[in-house]
Amino acid sequence: MQQEHLSKQLDLLALLHDVSNNHQGASIVLNQMIAGAYGQSLEEIRPFLISLQELNERVVSLIQSRKTTFFEVNPMTVTQFDMLAFLQKTYCLFNPIAQYHSLKLHYETQTLYKHGTQVRADGVSIDRMICNILTNAIKYTSRGEIFLRLLHQCDDLIIEIEDTGIGIAAEQISNIFLPLWQSPNSSNRVGMGLGLYIALSVAYAHGLDIKVNSTVGQGTKFTIIFPYKDDGIYGLDGRMLPKSQKVQDALPI
């Protein structure tokens, strides 16, 4: 009972955490816009207005998707989407934020993917997973570059997020996914120690693997692995979808 109560509280904290992150991103874009960093005309600032609208919609989706905990996948929110386009949007959203921190963000893709780039997943949760890892890459890098990559390795689809930041000591790697854990070395940094816990929970719920490679003083690479499923779509098993379809099938039309 107490365990359940604790996990609900954590769930709520995690939601506040991600809502707040989106608002912080929006503030950065707005401040830059007010300072004239993107130009003066509507045509010049339109892409950034679209980013702001996107950030706003993300907050709405986050709040609406809270009908269920992010540890589990709600079959009603599972959709099929193209990961290439999905990450392109993420790149567009994070590019001004990286620029604000004097970092260069790159989005690198391959010309060919063995089994395509279609993914079946809860998009809002996948977004939370990627955004939290990307936010860390920016937060823990004071100078240099950040790479967002969509690759394939053997049969699997791979997302890599690599930074040239402070790195993580080998003895701390096993702690970083724990809820509310923050490195003692980064005590001067703001945050709740929830970003990676959220990312791992989403990965776990979707059957994805997350690997971390890091060298102190050189940088960190997070690798998210979408294992290949026989039906040519990565992510959740095809059996996840029919639940929502069953609702439709059950309707007496």
* Site residues (vs ligand ATP, CB under 6 A): 17, 132, 136-137, 139-140, 163, 165-168, 176, 181-183, 186, 191-197, 220
Q: Does position 220 bind Mg ion by CB under 5 A?
A: no
Give the torsion through C-alpha atoms of 23, 14, 67, 244, to 10 deg.
Answer: 90
Residues in region 123-152 near Mg ion by CB under 5 A? 136
Nearest alpha carbon to residue 18 among 79, 60, 50, 47: 60
Q: Which two tokens stand for residue 242?
A: 């029919």
Which of 75, 165, 195, 235 is the binder for Mg ion (CB under 5 A)?
195
- 224 close to 155: Cβ distance less than 8 angstroms: no
Q: Does position 96 bind Mg ion by CB under 5 A?
A: no
CB of 106 to Mg ion, least distance (A): 21
Which H or E element spans position 206? helix 195-206
In this complex, which beta carbon is closest to Mg ion, that of residue 165 or of residue 195?
A: 195
Nearest alpha carbon to residue 232 among 97, 119, 102: 119
Q: Nearest-CB residue to Mg ion?
A: 195
Q: State how far the Cα of 109 lies from the Cα of 148, in Å rounded to an integer.
A: 9
CB of 1 to Mg ion, least distance (A): 30
Q: Which does 168 bind (CB under 5 to 8 A by kind): Mg ion, ligand ATP, none?
A: ligand ATP
Q: State how far the Cα of 45 lies from the Cα of 41, in Å rounded to an integer.
A: 6
CB of 194 to ligand ATP, least distance (A): 4
In this complex, which beta carbon is closest to Mg ion, that of residue 45 or of residue 137?
A: 137
Q: Give the residues lining the site for Mg ion (CB under 5 A).
A: 136, 195
